[in-house]
Amino acid sequence: MKPDLFEAPDYYNLDDLLTDEHKLIRDSAREWVKKSVSPIIEEYAQKAEFPNHLIKELADIGAFGPYIPEEYGGPGLDQISYGLIMQEIERGDSGIRSTASVQSSLVMYPILKYGNEEQKMRFLPKLATGELMGCFGLTEPDHGSNPGGMTTNYKDKGDHYLLNGAKLWISNSPFADIAIVWAKNEEGRIHGLIVERGMEGFTTPETHNKWSLRASSTGELIFNDVKVPKENLLPNKSGLGAPLGCLDSARYGIAWGAVGAAMDCYDTALRYSKERVQFGRPIGGFQLQQKKLAEMITEITKAQLLAWRLGVLKNEGKASSAQISMAKRNNVEMAIKVAREARQILGGMGITGDYSIMRHMMNLESVITYEGTHDVHLLITGLDITGLNAFK
C-alpha cells in the first residue's frame, strides 16, 4: 500500500466546535492509525486475518470503552470523544473500528448499564485494557432484523442456567474471551448472560469466505447445554429493549466511523486527481471529476455536522433512538457512495490494494447491513414520524 498521506477534510471549520481535549484525543488516534494501521492493514485484509497485535495499542489510545467511568478502568470521556475515536479508526479500516465498537458499546456498555457491581468490577477494567476481549451475540441464523423472534434459550436448573441455541455473524467471536449473549428464559423474556470461553458445550467457529470486513474476525456462537453460573446473568434490565439499548450506542459510533472511511476515500481521490495527468492535464481539472469531488465534500460535510450534533445531543442525554438511526443510515450510505465515486476517479488503480478505497467500499457493504440494515433504519424513521409501525 502507498504511504499514508491523509489530510482530514474540514470544509466548514468544524474543528472550531471541538474542545482542545477533543482535538488532542482525535489527533492521537489519527497519528496511531497512520503509524500502526495503515502500514499493515492491506496485508491483513488480503489474508483475511484480524491483526491481533493491535489490541493492546487500541486499549492504549482509549478505544475500548472511551466513556466508561474511571472507577471501572475507563478514561471517562464524553460522547464526542468516543465518536472522534471511531471516526479516526474507521478512517483506517471498518474492521478495526468494529472490534473497538463491539468491545465498547456491545460488551462494556451492557455490563456497565445492566450489570451489578461485582460484574462491573470483575470485567470492565480488564476489558478496558484489552486483557479480556468480548463479543455480542444477538443475531441468529433465522432471526437477523427481527431479533425478538430469537430461539436461543436458558432454563433455570437451581444452581445454574442451562443455555442452548446458536448465534451467527458475531464479530470477534473466534477469539473473544467472553460473549454477551441474549437468550430467552422459560417465560420467553430476553436476558443478557455473560458466557465465558472454556465453558463446556460452548464453541465459536469462524465464518470464512467474506469479501467484506476481511480484517475483522467473524464467527458463530454455539451453545450445547452450556452451564452458565447464575452470577453471570445481567440483572438490571430485560426484554428486547436491553440489547437494542446497546445498539443505540454502537450505531452512534458507526455514524461517526463511516465519516472517517468517506474522508479517507475523498482525500485519496482528491490527491490522485491532482497528480494523474491525461490529455495533457491533471484529471482534477476536468469538470466531470470536479463534480464528483465537489459532491463528495458536500456530503461529507453534511454527515460531519449530523454526527457532531448527535454527539451534542448524546452528551446532553437527549439523543433519541430514531435520531441515531437516521445518522447511522445517512452516514453509511453517504460513505458507500463516496467510496464508489472515489474509486472511479482512480480508474484502474482504484481496484488495487495500493490504495484504500476498494477495501473501504467492500467493508461498508457490511456496515450498511449490520447494526440494523439500511431498510430497517428507514422504517424506524418512518415509524417515528408517522406513528405507524411497519414491522407489526
Instruction: Examine residue 323 and tell whether it contacts ligand TGC (CB under 6 A).
Output: no
Q: What are phi and psi of 183, to 5 degrees?
A: -145, 155
Options 72-80, 226-234, 245-253, 350-358: segment touching ligand TGC (CB under 6 A): 245-253
CA-angle at 189, arms to 183 and 190, nearest 5°: 35
> Could you tell me if 44 and 215 are in contact, meaning their C-beta atoms sit under 8 angstroms apart?
yes
Instruction: Examine residue 153 and tell whether it contacts ligand FAD (CB under 6 A).
Output: no
In this structure, which amino acid lies at residue 275? E
Instruction: Examine residue 370 and tell whether it contacts ligand FAD (CB under 6 A).
Output: yes
In this structure, which amino acid lies at residue 385? I
Instruction: Examine residue 136 and tell whether it contacts ligand FAD (CB under 6 A).
Output: yes
Closest to ligand FAD by CB, 11 vs 211, is: 211
- As given in the structure block, the three cell numbers for residue 310 are 448527535
Taking CB under 6 A as the criterion, the residue among 213, 228, 261, 297 binding ligand FAD is: 213
Residue 285 interface partner, choices ligand FAD, ligand TGC, none, CB cut-off 5-8 Å depending on type: none
Taking CB under 6 A as the criterion, the residue among 14, 40, 126, 144 binding ligand FAD is: 144
* Residue 286, burial from CB neighbour count under 10 angstroms (0-12, 13-18, 19+): middle
Alpha helices in 61-93 (DSSP H): 79-92
Q: Which residues, 6 or more positions from 287, have their beta carbon under 8 angstroms from its beta carbon?
A: none
Calculate the dihedral angle through the C-alpha atoms of 121, 124, 126, 128, rounding to the nearest 10 degrees. -140
In whole angstroms, how close is the CB of 130 to ligand FAD at the nearest point?
17
CB-side exposure of 162: number of CA atoms within 13 Å?
7
* Binders in 63-102 for ligand TGC, by CB under 6 A: 98, 101-102
Instruction: Examine residue 223 and tell whether it contacts ligand FAD (CB under 6 A).
Output: no
Instruction: Examine residue 239 and tell whether it contacts ligand TGC (CB under 6 A).
Output: yes
Closest to ligand TGC by CB, 265 vs 380, is: 380
Closest to ligand FAD by CB, 39 vs 141, is: 141
Q: How far apart are CA 382 and CA 188, in angstroms?
A: 28
Closest to ligand FAD by CB, 218 vs 238, is: 218
Tell me which residue of 31, 93, 102 sits closest to 364, measured CA to CA: 93
DSSP-assigned letter for residue 207: P
In the residue annotation, 371 being an active-site residue is answered as yes
Taking CB under 6 A as the criterion, the residue among 203, 207, 321, 381 binding ligand TGC is: 321
* Binders in 83-122 for ligand FAD, by CB under 6 A: 102
Residue 321 interface partner, choices ligand TGC, ligand FAD, none, CB cut-off 5-8 Å depending on type: ligand TGC
Q: What per-residue string of b and e applies to 4-24 under the rule 16 or more CB within 10 Å gives b?
A: bebebbeeeeeeeebeeebee
Return the residue matching grid coordinates 442452548: 164
Instruction: Give the active site residue among 88, 299, 333, 371.
Output: 371
Instruction: Examine residue 238 and tell whether it contacts ligand TGC (CB under 6 A).
Output: no
Taking CB under 6 A as the criterion, the residue among 36, 152, 171, 289 binding ligand FAD is: 171
Closest to ligand TGC by CB, 115 vs 284, is: 115
Q: How many CB atoms lie within 10 A of CB 131?
A: 13
DSSP-assigned letter for residue 375: H
In this structure, which amino acid lies at residue 270? L
Number of residues that bind ligand TGC (CB under 6 A): 25
Closest to ligand TGC by CB, 207 vs 321, is: 321
Instruction: Examine residue 141 and tell whether it contacts ligand TGC (CB under 6 A).
Output: no
Taking CB under 6 A as the criterion, the residue among 169, 202, 252, 256 binding ligand FAD is: 169
Return the residue matching grid coordinates 450498511: 368
Between helix 94-101 and helix 241-275 the angle, nearest 10°, is 160
Q: Taking CB positions, which residue lies at the least distance from ligand FAD?
A: 144
Q: What per-residue string of b and e applies to 242-265 under the rule 16 or more CB within 10 Å gives b?
A: bbbbbbbbbbbbbbbbbbbbbbbb
- As given in the structure block, the three cell numbers for residue 60 are 492504549
In whole angstroms, how close is the CB of 335 to ligand FAD at the nearest point?
16
> Could you tell me if 105 and 249 are in contact, meaning their C-beta atoms sit under 8 angstroms apart?
yes
Instruction: Examine residue 205 and tell whether it contacts ligand TGC (CB under 6 A).
Output: no
List residues near ligand FAD by CB under 6 A: 102, 135-139, 144-145, 169-171, 213, 218, 366, 369-371, 373, 375-376, 379, 391
List residues near ligand TGC by CB under 6 A: 98, 101-102, 136, 138-139, 145, 147-148, 171, 239-241, 244-245, 247-248, 250, 321, 370-372, 376, 380, 391
Catalytic residues: 371
